[in-house]
Chains A and B, each alone.
Chain A
Amino acid sequence: MRAGGFAEPRVIRLINRRFVPFFFNTSGVGQGDDEGAAAFVDGKLENSFAYLSAFLPDAAGTNLGSSALYASKDELFQYLLGLLRAHPELAWVTTEEAAVFDAAEHGPCDVTSLLAAAMLHEELGQYTAAVDLAERAIRVEDITTDQWARGFRVLAAIARYQKQWSRVADLCAWARAIEAPDGHDLLADIELELAYRHLAANEYEQARERLESAIVKHPRAKRSGELRFYAGVASYFMGREDEAEFHWCWVNEHIPGDVMARRCFVAAARKGMPYSNPELGGFSASGMIGGNTRIMKEAYATARGNFLRLRDRTGGLLPVGRSCQSE
């Protein structure tokens, strides 16, 4: 459920801002049925079992089509943006949002207002406006290091979304000079953004090195789950599936409330899934034996066994830990 697109921060933020999301069980097995929903969608969908589909709030509940069944996180985001562009009357700006935009546009040129508006535009997928405001914010003289870091996050994320990798590298080089109060979070973010660049170029070894180094140096980083998920992805594409499973299961076992937890479960249980994972090679993935719920759980249990085995084998190596802990 929270695999792939549904665990992608920009998808989540856009759904929460602009849609009313509802889920229910279409299988007839287990919990989570909803007769009203089943009757509502009846006859409206091509695939009535597994889907994400949008409906107008009109009396008929007109269907606007579904996302692709195996949509990647970026395709899902574009699907949502497409719906909003096609129906601007349902993408209206709230009073609170209007106040944020107004403060940045007409108020004094203060960093707080500019950054708030930049972050809001980013959440709404309005990247030109977001970049303009964030760049104005970071040029203000009395900006704090914390605000500078927030400006970096907006600019780096958008550069990543737009696959402007040299800009990502430039922004990261610039951000290293920031001594932000949440320094560990910022440094982890920098490594993550640079790792995305490696992943996009299929440079898995470099990506993994960078991510695992960040995991070690910044264990309390807010984006720990994301660091682990992609360290697992890089390991997977290097053919080191045990180590990939270690990272994915780690997230499930240690931070189950993290945004990446379900995505990590799905990756760890990939061989028991009934569909190929778009983040692990999609239809070119091999070794799948799935699947139903029982097979998925068994696949996860096998991955978890690898996680426990690797964890147990690492006992007694604390000198390295002490050295890094004192950094």
Chain B
Amino acid sequence: MIIALTAFLLQTTLAIALEADHSSGFDPLAIEWMLPGHFEEARARSRQAERLLLIKGVSFGIDEAGAVCATQGEW
């Protein structure tokens, strides 16, 4: 267990050490949600584009950032 934990720490430290010199890779892929307050626009787009409208109801609240950007904030 101790050996395994040490190995884990060595590896994760290395990753951190490397980050100091190199930016980490990442994938910005995200759903192109239409935002709250723009429902009529979403519905119009669905009709115009002849695509299904998907609605996600969020029951645990949305903060200020999440209400204006689908990839930010809490929601």
Contact = CB atoms under 8 A, between A and B. Distances in A.
B74 to A, nearest CB: 7
Interface size bracket, B side = 35 or more
A24 B39 contact: yes
B32 A21 contact: yes
Nearest to A48: B57
A230 B55 CA distance: 28
B34 A21 contact: yes
A30 B63 contact: yes
B55 A15 contact: no
A240 B12 CA distance: 14
Given A34-B39, A57-B46, A224-B24, A320 B13 contact: yes
Nearest to B20: A321
Determine which residue in B23, B51, B71 has the highest number of CB atoms from chain A within 10 A of its CB, and name it. B51
A215 B15 contact: yes
Contacts of B56: 1, 6, 21-24, 51-52
A288 interface: no
A57 B55 contact: no
Contacts of A32: 35-37, 58, 61-62, 66-67, 75
B17 interface: yes
A314 B59 CA distance: 39
Contacts of A292: 60
Contacts of A54: 52-55
Interface stretch (A35-43, A147-155, A195-203): A35-43
Nearest to A35: B39
Most buried by A among B16, B22, B39, B49: B39
A222 interface: yes
Given A20-B49, A32-B75, A50 B40 contact: no
B22 to A, nearest CB: 6
Interface string A233-250: 000000010010010001
B54 A254 contact: no
B8 to A, nearest CB: 6
A226 B27 CA distance: 9
B31 interface: yes
B54 A52 contact: yes
A310 interface: yes
B58 A20 contact: no
B54 A9 contact: no
Given A20-B45, A225-B27, A243-B8, A321 B17 contact: yes
A315 interface: yes
B50 A246 contact: no
A168 B12 CA distance: 27
A57 B61 contact: no
14 contacts: A20-B53, A21-B32, A22-B33, A22-B56, A40-B39, A57-B51, A216-B11, A216-B15, A220-B24, A224-B24, A254-B24, A255-B26, A257-B26, A317-B14
Given A22-B55, A293-B61, 19 more contacts: A15-B54, A16-B31, A18-B51, A23-B35, A25-B67, A34-B36, A37-B55, A40-B55, A53-B57, A57-B49, A61-B43, A212-B8, A216-B18, A254-B19, A257-B26, A259-B26, A259-B30, A293-B74, A324-B14
Interface of B: 5, 8-19, 21-40, 42-43, 45-47, 49-64, 66-67, 70-71, 74-75
